[in-house]
Chain A
Amino acid sequence: MLISDLCKTDSVNANNVAVQVKVNGASHSHEVEPRTLLVHYLREDVGLTGTNVGCDTSSCGACTVHLNGESVKSCTVLAVQADEMEVTTIEGLANGDEMHPMQTCFMNNHALQCGYCTPGMVMASVSLLDENPNPTEAEVREGLEGNLCRCTGYHNIVKAVLDAAGGQK
């Protein structure tokens, strides 16, 4: 590999790929460059900016969405990998004006400070309870290890998830 290869100007790829993704229940069809990340597809092509880009290195979890019902980091998934799949973003949780129980529990427990990690934190929390409806506090902390809150507001986030788990019983 030559340095010049690494530094080559990225030209627009002629071999775009058609994708059809169901986002929050609505079908979207686009032609994308294969290298388009799912998070950029959601924000820029679908126009849903609730999903945040944090670290962009699959560490912080701010970009967490659900892919076919499971939490994933959308900065580390290509849009072409989501072709013919279902994506749920933070915008897809509420039922009209009625917040998702996890959103209500985050609000009631003051589980956000600056709010930047919150969309990803809520999506990861919903996925956590889908897989483990009655977690212990330790299981909640471990289950959210992929999400960083740089305000360090973890205690209230854990309380919110436990609150939501209790509410589901």
Chain B
Amino acid sequence: MIPVAFDYVRADSTESALSALAQHGDEAKLMAGGHSLLPMMKLRLAVPSVVVDIGRLSDLSYVRDGDDHLAIGALTRHRDVEMNSAIAEHAPLLQAATANVGDPQVRHRGTIGGSLAHADASADTPSALLALGGSLVVNGPNGERVIAGEDFFAGFLESVLEPTEMITEVRIPKHTGAGYSFQKFNRRAQDWAIVGVSAQRSDAGAKVALVSMHPTPVRATAVEEALNGGANATEAAELAAEGVSPSSDLNASVEYRQHLARVFTKRALVEAGF
């Protein structure tokens, strides 16, 4: 399988990437590691006429301590997130979710910013972003803006990013020493989650997010409200499929996904210490 022909532009700075986007608009796609975009292009589900390669912007690959949060460059590869000691200490949920992305070869190439921009409800990292209350720093023709993770996902494979914008940084509030859990149910080791759960405790209360249970990455708000209202893990997990609309596919029917969401939410809540 070979993508449809396209023009290739290699960006050597954030500015040159943004200017290529400004020039080509929605005909262009940014490519970081390419591990969401290239499979889509090979299946011809994505047919950009221009690919802007931002994979060499090494100044966007970093993990910095921002006092109350960690600042992670958008081009930081999954493997580097997985192995980073500051993330392990202050946001271990992100580390756990990232360690479940694809397989080692995929994690060597794929990036945190690319995965989030792809806005796939069946991806692992968006659920961690939501449960950790993270946000995204986005650059575009009008400068920089910060978008809360919970406002970022707009629809099936769709975010609120404009075609002329790019994610430059991911900010994750520190959750040092707080209970967390990432759960993933799939048929083969490297597969997408049939259902996945991110759960995070904090002083502000519980945050729980689901994988593959809705057209977008989604918070399990009914579960959170129950926990914050004093319900125990078993009672709260019963509400895991409330208010979300999973789809049926080769792997699981709607009913089976709802069942799995309850089972894995309970496991996540217990492991997170609720």
Q: Is the CB of B39 within 8 A of A64?
A: no
Interface residue B6 (Cβ < 8 Å from any Cβ of A): yes
Given A71-B105, A128-B104, A146-B104: A35 touches B39 (CB 8 Å cut-off) = no
Of the candidates A57, A72, A80, the one whose C-beta lies within 8 Å of that of B109 is A72
Instruction: Write out, one digit per residue, whether chain B residues 81-104 have a CB within 8 A of any chain A CB (1) or not (0).
Output: 000000000000000000000111
Q: Is the CB of A81 within 8 A of B34?
A: yes
Q: Which of B39-68 contact A (CB under 8 A)?
A: 39, 41-42, 44, 47, 51, 53, 55
Q: Is the CB of B8 within 8 A of A57?
A: no
Q: Is the CB of B189 within 8 A of A57?
A: no
Q: Is the CB of A17 within 8 A of B5?
A: no
Cα–Cα distance between A6 and B105 once the two chains are bound (Å): 29
Cα–Cα distance between A56 and B41 once the two chains are bound (Å): 12
Distance of A162 from chain B, by nearest CB (Å):
17
Distance of B85 from chain A, by nearest CB (Å):
15
Distance of A16 from chain B, by nearest CB (Å):
9
Q: Which of A66-91 contact B (CB under 8 A)?
A: 67, 70-73, 76-78, 80-81
Of the candidates B7, B42, B55, the one whose C-beta lies within 8 Å of that of A13 is B7
Interface residue B25 (Cβ < 8 Å from any Cβ of A): no
Distance of B231 from chain A, by nearest CB (Å):
35
Q: Is the CB of A61 within 8 A of B105?
A: yes
Cα–Cα distance between A13 and B104 once the two chains are bound (Å): 33
Cα–Cα distance between A121 and B189 once the two chains are bound (Å): 16
Q: Is the CB of B103 within 8 A of A5?
A: no
Q: Is the CB of B102 within 8 A of A146?
A: yes
Interface residue B247 (Cβ < 8 Å from any Cβ of A): no
Q: Is the CB of A58 within 8 A of B44?
A: no
Q: Is the CB of B34 within 8 A of A76?
A: yes
Given A57-B1, A78-B38: A34 touches B109 (CB 8 Å cut-off) = no
Cα–Cα distance between A5 and B189 once the two chains are bound (Å): 36
Cα–Cα distance between A59 and B55 once the two chains are bound (Å): 22
Q: Is the CB of B47 within 8 A of A146?
A: no
Interface residue A10 (Cβ < 8 Å from any Cβ of B): yes
Distance of B45 from chain A, by nearest CB (Å):
9
- Could you say which residues of chain B place their CB within 8 Å of the CB of A152? none
Distance of A89 from chain B, by nearest CB (Å):
14
- Could you say which residues of chain B place their CB within 8 Å of the CB of A142? 189
Cα–Cα distance between A1 and B129 once the two chains are bound (Å): 31
Q: Which of A39-65 contact B (CB under 8 A)?
A: 40, 56-59, 61, 64
Given A56-B42, A76-B39, A78-B38: A71 touches B6 (CB 8 Å cut-off) = no
Q: Is the CB of B190 within 8 A of A72?
A: no
Instruction: Write out, one digit per residue, whether chain A residues 17-53 have a CB within 8 A of any chain B CB (1) or not (0).
Output: 1000000000000000111010010000000000000
6 residue pairs bridging A and B, Cβ less than 8 Å apart: A11-B5, A15-B8, A57-B1, A131-B104, A145-B189, A147-B103
Instruction: Give 6 A-B pairs besides A8-B4, A61-B103, A146-B102 with Cβ atoms closer than 8 angstroms.
Output: A15-B8, A34-B7, A61-B105, A78-B34, A81-B53, A146-B105
